[in-house]
Amino acid sequence: MASHRKSRPTGPRVAGIRTPALATAALTSVALLSQTANATPSDDDRPSLEEVEKKVDDLYRQAGSATEKYNAAKEKTAKQRKKVDTLLDDVARRTQRLNDAREELGSFASAQYRTGTAVPETATFLLADSPQEYFDQNQLMGRLTGRQKTAVDDYVTQQSETMEKRREATESLETLTGAQNDLKTAKSTVQKKLATARELLSRLTAEEKARLAAIEKKKQEEAARKAAELAEQQAEERERREEAARQESGGTSSGAPEAGGSGSSGSSTPDPSYGTKADKALAFARAQIGKPYVWGATGPGSYDCSGLTQAAWKAAGVTLPRVTYDQVNAGTTVPVSQALPGDLVFFYDDLSHVGLYIGNGMMIHAPKPGAYVREESIYYDGESSIHSVVRPA
């Protein structure tokens, strides 16, 4: 039977007639409602918007990590395939020379038999493990001329070298198969992570997508604020260095900026030519803004993160490795506060992302699937996401 009692107020105030247990339950309910005001799951147990955002971000990072593994496996596969092709060509040439030498030695054996009573068996010679063994068994070595003995020795050497090359080619083929399997695994991992992320995003309502965009905008505003703080810190440090330089030179100073342009800092002075090379790398990177991120891509129509940084520095005449966890070792590590335009900024503990620093706390990078090459704060995913800064060349 339905109750006809009036409902009591649901505010935080606890009425004196309530028992302590009921009061505690009421306060707990209020707290829970407050905590989930912006993250309440729907009736069908769908994850909250915040849970979706975190899951999607995690999936993109995992896809980025798998992409770098894919890039490494792809590079290894290409190199190994080239090595295998070279070895197989070498083995083919050696085998042909070996066959030609075997035929010549067969004619030597036939010639020696002509003065004896035995009938030469060319098939026996061709099936022998070694021509040396064949001639010894038939007591022919002592009857061969110097040139013929040299031919036998050369044949034995060629046979040994050819067998070694065949063994090396077999091992290289096995390595190639392993690299191809790694490539398939990495590719499958990337595809699965991205498919899961797309599926999660496709389930969002229009309202949820709008809220997610608002959350992202707030993150970008915070990242921009942190970038401005870094720019200010670098400017103050630059002024201190310039003042110190003026005092050391007796008050005369041109006030010319250091290599690297505005927003630069760094007591770890780079090579004088670094600024020129960095300008070329940055000019290339800026020209790629607006091109889509495609995992595994190295240009010119699309890029992934390490593909962009590699291509940018290549334009400056500097060769960087293909993947992030090799690029991080291709230069000198410097503090974030001393980053110069052109430096590489690496992210996350697994080094799954990299961008090209342009000064004032900003970078150019290829962010993730569905996005385009763009300028963005190096704090785009929070200060803790920055792993290190490396100055190439």
DSSP annotation of 348: T
Tell which phi-psi region holds residue 310, choosing left (phi > 0), alpha (psi between -120 and 50) or beta: alpha
**E strand or H helix at 342, and its extent?**
none
Beta strand extents in 174-282 (DSSP E only): none
CA 244 to chain centre: 41
Name the catalytic one among 74, 94, 165, 353.
353
Rounded Cα gap, residues 327 and 307, in angstroms: 11
Catalytic residue among 74, 365, 368, 391: 365
Catalytic residue among 140, 152, 278, 305: 305
Q: Are 368 and 60 in contact (CB under 8 A)?
A: yes
- 97 assigned to active site: no
DSSP string, 112-176: HHTTSSSPP-HHHHHH-S-HHHHHHHTT-GGGS-HHHHHHHHHHHHHHHHHHHHHHHHHHHHHHH
Helix (H), strand (E) counts: the chain? 9, 6
8 A C-beta contact, residue 226 and residue 361: yes
- The residues facing 389 across adjacent strands are 334, 345
DSSP-based three-state secondary structure for 388: strand
Active site residue 387: no
Cis peptide before 300 (omega within 30 of 0): yes
Active site residues: 305, 353, 365
